[in-house]
Amino acid sequence: MENEQHHSPAYRALLLAGTRLKPLQQVHAHLIVSGSGRIRSLLTKLLSLACAAASITYTRRLFFAIPVPDSFLFNTVIVKTSKLGFSIDSLLFYRRMILSNISPSNYTLTAVIKSCADLSALEVGRVIHGHVLVSGYDLDSHVQAALVSFYAKAGDLGVARKVFDKMPDRTVVAWNSIISAYEQNGFAKEAIGLFYLMRDLGVEPDSATCVIVLAACAQSGDIGLGNWVHEYVVGQDFDVNVILGTSLINMYARCGHVSRAREVFDLMMESNVVAWTAMISGYGMHGYGTQAVELFNQMRAHGLRPNRITFVAVLSACAHAGLVHEGRHVFASMKQEYRLVPGVEHHVCMVDMFGRAGLLNEAYQFIKEVIREKPAPAVWTAMLGACKMHKNFDLGVEIAEHLLSVEPENPGHYVMLSNIYALAGRMDRVEMVRNMMISKSLKKEVGYSTVEIDQRTYLFSMGDKSHPETNQIYRYLDELMSRCREAGYVPESESVMHEVEEEEREFALRYHSEKLAIAFGLMKTSDGMAIRIVKNLRMCEDCHSAIKYISVVANREIIVRDRLRFHHFKDGSCSCLDYW
C-alpha cells in the first residue's frame, strides 16, 4: 500500500513541485479536489516541503488543518521548523505535541533543544532538559551534544561542562560541542587545551573541529596553532567550503596576516556575503581602509547583497583610515540602494569616523540630525571618545555626565569622565569620580597583554610581578625607556587612572602590560624578528607613543592587536597613522 502511494501521481506531483511555494499550493489544491487531501503520507510530504520552502505561514495553515496529528507529523514539523530557523514555531508545535499526550522522540528533543539554543531560551531549555531525563533519552549522544551547545549558547558554561563530563561515548561531535562552548564564551585558551586533550585521546579532528579551533586561534592570536590547522586541512584534503574558508580568513586576519587571509579568499571555490565581510573586516582592522572599500565595491559588482554586518565592517574600516568621504557615501548607499535601516552599530561607526577625523561638529550634527530617536548610549560613548581625543573638555564632561545618569553601572563611563578631568587638570574632580566608583564598588576592567615566543604564550598584566624573570624584565624595560627618552619620548601622565593610588600612577603607566610583554619579547627573541602582542583593551596614548620609539631604539617591528584593531609599529611610526 505504502509503495503504491509513493508511486502515485499525487506523490510524484509533490516531488516535482519541490520546495517552491506556488507549485506546492497548486498540487495541494489538486489533492483536495481529487479527494486525496486526507492521506497521511501525502500530507506529511507536503508539510515537510512547505517548511523547506521557508513558508512558515503555509506550514502553520497546513498543520492546523490536520484534525488529529500523529507523532510522525509532529516530528516532521518540529524537526523541519527547527532546522530552518523557525525556532519559536518549533517550540509551539512541541508544546502542542506534549499537550496531545504524544511522547517526544530523541529526534524531537534534539530539534527543540537546538531551537532553544538559537533563542538563548535558558528557562524553556531547562524544562526540556527535564523532559529528556524523564523520557530516558539522556544517554542519547545527539541529545547530549545538543544540550552541551544549548547551555553554552544560553550562557551556562558550567552545566554544559557537566553534561559533557557525563557523556559515556565522546564522539568528535561531542568534543566539538564542548570546545565550541568554551570558545564562544571567550575562553579560547581553555578551548585550545581541550582540543589538545581530544587529540591525545586519539579522537581525529574533522572539519567542524577545524572551524572551531580556528575561531579560538583568532580570538587568542595563536598563529602557531592556526598554521597547524591550515596544514591539517590541506593534509586531510578537507573541502575548503565557505565556512572553513571564512574561518581561515578570519584567523589569519586576526592573527595579523592579512595577505595570507587574502590568499585564502582568492583561492576559495565558492564564496558568500559572510566570506566577503570577513575579508573586508580584516582589511579594516589593519587600517587598510582603501582596500576594504575597494573589496566592498567588487562585492557589489559580483551581485552580492551586503548585509548589516558588512556595513559595520566597511564603515568601521573607513573610520579607522580617515576615509570620511567614502564613509558618507557608503552610509548613504546603505539606505538608498539597499533599503537597510541603519542601526545603533552603524550610527556608532559614523560618529566614530567623524570624531577620529577631528570633525567634532559633524559628529555632533550627525547625532542631532540623522539619529531621530533618542541616541543610544553607545553613540554618546563614541562622541565622548572623540571629545577626549581632541580635547573638547566641556562637551566631554557634559556627555560623560549624561552617560553616568543613563548607565550608572558601567565602569567605562566613570573611567572616561575621570580621564577627561585629568586631561583638563581637574584633579579634584578625578578624585571625586574615583570615590563614586568605589562607593558603587565598580571596577575597571583589568588589562592584560600576551606575547608569543617559541610557540608559547606569556601573559602580563599591569605591574605584573608574577613572572620568574620579573627583575630582569623590569630592568630591561627601564633601560629601554630611558633610551626612548633620549630619543625624544616624553611620558604622558594623563590617561592613567585611579585604579591605583596617586604615588603609584607613574609606576603603573611605566609598566602597562603591553610594555612588559614587549620588553619580554625583545629579550627572548633575536634581532629582526617581529614582536606580536595581543591586548584585551585599547592601548592608551602613552603606550602608543612609547612603542613608536621602542620600534626605533630596538630596531624591531612590533605588532599590537588591541580590542579594536591592529597597530604595526615600524621605524617610529604606526600603521594607524594615529587614527586609533
Partner DNA sequence: CTAGGGTTAG
At closest approach, how far in Å is the CB of 321 from DNA? 12
Measured from the Cβ of residue 397, the count of other Cβ atoms closer than 10 Å reads: 18
- Cα(125)–Cα(244) distance, integer angstroms: 29
Q: Give the other-Cβ count within 10 Å of 273's Cβ.
A: 15
Residue 390: is it exposed, middle or buried by C-beta count within 10 angstroms (0-12/13-18/19+)?
Answer: middle
Q: Is 564 in the site for DNA (CB under 7 A)?
A: yes
For residues 325 and 434, give the distance between their C-alpha atoms in angstroms, rounded to a whole number: 40
- Please identify, among the stretches 193-201, 277-285, 287-295, 331-339, the one whose residues bind DNA according to the rule CB under 7 A: 277-285
174 binds DNA (CB under 7 A): yes
Question: What single string gives the DSSP state of each residue in 156-186?
Answer: -HHHHHHHHHT-SS--HHHHHHHHHHHHHTT
Q: Which is nearer to DNA, 210 or 518 (CB)?
A: 210
Kindly give, in sequence order, each residue whose CB lies less than 8 Å from that of residue 117, ignoring residues fewer than 6 positions away.
125, 146, 149, 150, 153, 154
Under a CB-based contact definition with an 8 Å cutoff, are residues 121 and 113 in contact? Answer: no
Nearest to 132 by CA among 111, 156, 149: 111
10 binds DNA (CB under 7 A): no
Is 316 near DNA (CB under 7 A)?
A: yes
Is 106 an interacting residue with respect to DNA (CB under 7 A)? yes
Residue 190 near DNA by CB under 7 A: no
> Within 254-273, which residues bind DNA (CB under 7 A)?
272-273
Q: Which is nearer to DNA, 355 or 521 (CB)?
A: 355
Output 244 or 516, the one with its CB closest to DNA.
244
Residue 281 touching DNA (CB under 7 A)? yes
Please select the residue that binds DNA; options are 159, 163, 198, 215, rule is CB under 7 A: 215
From the CB of 310, what's the least distance to DNA, in Å?
Answer: 6
Give the Å distances, CA to CA, from 139 to 143, 167, 170. Answer: 8, 7, 11
456-461 β-sheet, strand order? 456-461, 448-453, 531-535, 558-561, 566-570, 573-574
140 binds DNA (CB under 7 A): yes
Q: How far is the CB of 161 from DNA (least distance, A)?
A: 15
Cβ 332 to DNA shortest distance, Å: 19
Q: Could you tell me the smallest distance in angstroms from the CB atom of residue 552 to DNA?
A: 29
**Taking the complex as a whole, how short is the minimal distance between the CB of residue 179 and DNA, in angstroms?**
9
Please, which residue, 154 or 509, has the CB nearer to DNA? Answer: 154
Q: Which is nearer to DNA, 349 or 430 (CB)?
A: 349
Q: What is the DSSP string of 409-474?
A: T-HHHHHHHHHHHHHTT-HHHHHHHHHHHHHTT--PPPPEEEEEETTEEEEEETT---STTHHHHH
Calculate the alpha carbon distances from 138 to 143, 168, 333 in Å: 7, 11, 51
Nearer to DNA, 53 or 313 (CB): 313
Q: Dihedral through CA 372, CA 376, CA 377, CA 381, nearest 10?
A: -60
Cell numbers 528557562 label which residue? 123
Task: Give the nearest distance from C-beta 186 to DNA in angstroms.
Answer: 12
User: Is there a contact between 346 and 309 (Cβ–Cβ < 8 Å)?
Assistant: no
For residues 149 and 450, which CB has a smaller minimum distance to DNA in the complex? 149
CA pair distance 257, 264, nearest whole angstrom: 11
Name the nearest CA neighbour of 520 among 450, 576, 426: 450
Q: Which of 27, 43, 111, 473 is close enough to bind DNA by CB under 7 A?
A: 111
Which range touches DNA (CB under 7 A), out of 124-132, 304-312, 386-394, 400-408? Answer: 304-312
Least distance from DNA to the Cβ atom of residue 274, Å: 4
The residue from 126, 308, 390, 467 that contacts DNA (CB under 7 A) is 308
Binding of DNA by 285 (CB under 7 A):
yes
Element (H, E) at 533: strand 531-535
Chosen residue from 31, 128, 143, 417 binding DNA by CB under 7 A: 143
DSSP state of 528: T
Q: Which of residues 67-96 bind DNA (CB under 7 A)?
A: 75-76, 79, 82-83
CB atoms inside a 10 Å sphere around CB 196: 11
Q: Stretches 175-183, 395-403, 485-493, 566-574: which one binds DNA (CB under 7 A)?
A: 175-183
Interface residue with DNA among 141, 410, 495, 575 (CB under 7 A) is: 141
**Choice between 203 and 523, CB closer to DNA:** 203
Residues forming the site for DNA (CB under 7 A): 75-76, 79, 82-83, 105-107, 110-111, 114, 117, 140-146, 149, 171-174, 176-177, 180, 184, 206-212, 215, 218, 241-244, 246-247, 250, 272-275, 277-278, 281, 284-285, 307-310, 312-313, 316, 345, 348, 564
